[in-house]
Structure 1
């Protein structure tokens, strides 16, 4: 079993994303590792690799030691992470900068990452079951975010179209500039109808 350790914490849910131009760390994960926020270097340049067609602004960036190891071999490098505040199901995302720094080669078919170590090649991998569980959790998380956004939009639309509570429900309100006209002048019941005074004689 190969351990992936970021700073001093063992990480079990890391997304290896060869299409990402960034290494990403979530603010919640930094809190769990007990890292002081004064260690974060402020940076406000937006990026687009986190959410399709949307830009995100990081809280800052931080340099952390990342160790890949097994009982007889290990490799440690300092990686730069963009720190983001939005919630996610992974602990971190390792992108192209990680591969370049560690000279790693990913194989997405077999869910492996191979990097040179002090005593030979280190193979970092996971089971298909674990990968499937992470994917399901990520999809559920994304669905919940979309649903919450749609619900907020529906609530906003309903608020705009909400009826005036001062008006009596189910009753007709007389329009301004109307007059009462007898339906049948010869009838004793005296039923009337309201007609707008602004109508033409036709």
Structure 2
């Protein structure tokens, strides 16, 4: 019998931290590389490339767009770039050419390696112990993460995520504001004066005595 199921929602274990490791990318040692097995692409940031003295003019145009970062908004990379990624030591290391999508975002990471990089390196990760293992020419290469580094990236992410919300609110306000219209000069609201001769009416309050009356606001409707 066919049944419908809700869309998959990622659930994270309370004791599971992001796997943030050291890697060499494009000849530079980087300490904030996030191994994200849930990502279908590899990401690197314009800030990282500028620190590597790589000109953004040399990027290859990207052919993808993706969702999931800013709700309801598609994201288009600045371009793509292929860089050597190295894990291991001089005695036992692996080097692979990895294609990155380049994003112009603030980020707590230098780069994110997703499923394409996992597949290329044949990597297996264990997020509870923050360890990744990959086969090397001289045996298994073990790459260890840091709980301290993961916690620091989490705290930095909280600050960045708040700035994303403020940026989205600013863009929405900017789009809804007509800057060609001069705003009115700020004026104080005039005092409202109650005029009993105009703003009230006389009503009978006793069912049998028409002399017993009172005044009520003129805009009140009969019960």
Q: TM-score range by the shorter chain?
A: 0.7 to 0.9
Q: Confirm whether residue 117 of structure 1 aligns to residue 136 of structure 2.
A: yes
Cα offset, 1:148, TM superposition: 4.1
Change (3 A) 1:87 1:152: same
Change (3 A) 1:118 1:152: same
Matching of residues 26-105 of structure 1 within 5 Å: 26-48=45-67, 50-105=69-124
Q: Secondary structure at the match of 1:4?
A: strand
What is the CA–CA distance in structure 1 between the aligned matches of 2:155 and 2:103, rounded to whole Å? 22
Contact 2:44 2:103 in 1 (8 A): yes
2:216 corresponds in structure 1 to none
Change (3 A) 1:29 1:130: same
Aligned-residue CA RMSD in angstroms? 3.1
2:3 corresponds in structure 1 to none
Cα offset, 1:149, TM superposition: 3.3
Q: Secondary structure at the match of 1:64?
A: strand
Contact 1:20 1:49 in 2 (8 A): no
Cα offset, 1:118, TM superposition: 1.5
The structure richer in strand per residue is 1
What is the CA–CA distance in structure 1 between the aligned matches of 2:113 and 2:37, rounded to whole Å? 8
Gaps of 5+ in 1: 174-182, 185-202
Change (3 A) 1:171 1:51: closer
Gaps of 5+ in 2: 1-20, 199-223
TM-score computed with the length of structure 2 as normaliser = 0.67
Contact 1:25 1:82 in 2 (8 A): yes
> Could you list the per-position Cα deviations for residues 120-177 of structure 1 after superposition, in whole angstroms to 9, with x for gaps in the alignment?
11111222111111111111111222134346657888999xx8326x413269xxxx
Q: Find 1:133's aligned residue among 145, 152, 159.
A: 152
TM-score computed with the length of structure 1 as normaliser = 0.73
Give the number of aligned pairs.
Answer: 172
